[in-house]
Copies of this chain bind each other. A is one copy, B any other.
Amino acid sequence: MPFADAQESVSPLAQTNQIIDTDVHETFPSWLDLAPYLKEPWRGLVEHKAWSGLSFPFAYWASDGLNRADSQPDSGGPAGSDFKLFREQVLETYPIKHAILTGQFFPGDMEAQFEFASAIASAYNNWVLENWVSRDERIFTSLHVAPQDPIAAAREIERLGDHPHVVQVLLPIGPAAYGDPFYHPIFEAAQRHKLVIAFHHSDRLRSALLKNRYYIEWHVNVPQGAMSMLTSLVCNGVFDKFPELQFAIVESGFSWLPHLFWRFDQNYRSLQQEIPWVKQLPSKYIRERVKFSTQPTEDFSAANWLRLIEMLESDRMFIFSTDYPHWDFDAPEESIPRELPADLRRRILYENARELYSQKLEALA
């Protein structure tokens, strides 16, 4: 029964329909919840706890660890595993028209046994569609794939890419540079199904100096993965090879973009003979084809928002996100300054994401 819970979820506030939240980290309550969606031999590996999951070297030092204290379900499952609590804390608290699920576990982080990773990805996708997407028409989701096996990833995109509430393929930013042609079957399949490619950093990301002693160091340097990913995509000709493909970089900030535009364009002017298949300035590809989610917004003023937009010569690149249920959650009113012009706030909170996901959203309208 699709959208079973939709009736009860439309609050008066939600009816204003002004926000698209592009980064919601839903998760399954436990690995055992994925078991019914797995075939053997993978099901047995999960049921018998033969696989230990992934680890992250840092403890989270925010006051309640990785998550908002109030996002812990009474049921005892992990934060982000209770659909009704999410609906109450996000969908009914803010005027959210659409929320895009991005997941919490990325099969791309599995270092070995790629067939198992692909099976986990498929199981996770089925679980999300059945347990979250089917419960509320405002919810859209990302397909999880195991990019370490690009052909299997493309097959998963073929399998579910036409689902009306699947809007993108999520690729984790870990050590892999997806500009490499090895990964292009994923882009080809995504383009064929009118899906956005969304990048989100994973626990396997490191920074330029590899080792960090502290979590805060790791967290401050997360955007480096996005900088390198954009460089990789441009230099490997991805934007011209897949001309319909649109991209989102989720949770890596954007105030570093003027720097990247200027440095990359200058390097392109000097060194383009190395990459003659790249036909235009890097900044132009990025400005036209990539959007950046806003959370975690940094500590800067409305005046600096406007300076950044002048430097970037565009107000079309920013898409709002909450990052629910993580500790650095952004509420819409607090994170996008009220002093900004109303039409710019609307661009950030709604219009830019609507344009990004228009191929799917308009088909439903």
Binding site for B on A (CB under 8 A): 61-62, 173, 175-177, 179-180, 205-217, 219-221, 223-225, 227-229, 231-232, 235-236, 253, 255-256, 258-260, 262-271, 273-275, 296, 298-300, 304, 307, 310-311, 327-328
Contact B224 A267 (CB under 8 A): no
Q: Which of B270, B274, B311 meets A327, CB within 8 Å?
A: B270
Known: A175-B210, A177-B211, A208-B228. A216 touches B255 (CB 8 A): no
Closest to A300 in B: B262
Say how far A78's CB is from chain B's closest CB, in angstroms.
21
Say how far A171's CB is from chain B's closest CB, in angstroms.
12
Kindly list 4 other residue pairs between chains A and B, CB separation below 8 angstroms, not including A177-B212, A216-B267. A205-B208, A207-B231, A208-B225, A266-B298
Question: A212: which B residues are within 8 A, CB to CB?
Answer: 177, 228, 231-232
Contact A267 B223 (CB under 8 A): no
Contact B224 A220 (CB under 8 A): no
Contact A223 B271 (CB under 8 A): no
Docked complex Cα distance between A256 and B214 (Å): 22
Say how far A339's CB is from chain B's closest CB, in angstroms.
16
A-B contact pairs, 25 of them (CB 8 A): A175-B209, A175-B211, A176-B209, A177-B209, A179-B213, A180-B213, A206-B208, A208-B224, A208-B225, A209-B228, A212-B232, A216-B268, A217-B231, A219-B267, A220-B264, A221-B228, A223-B259, A255-B258, A258-B300, A258-B304, A259-B298, A262-B298, A262-B299, A269-B299, A307-B310
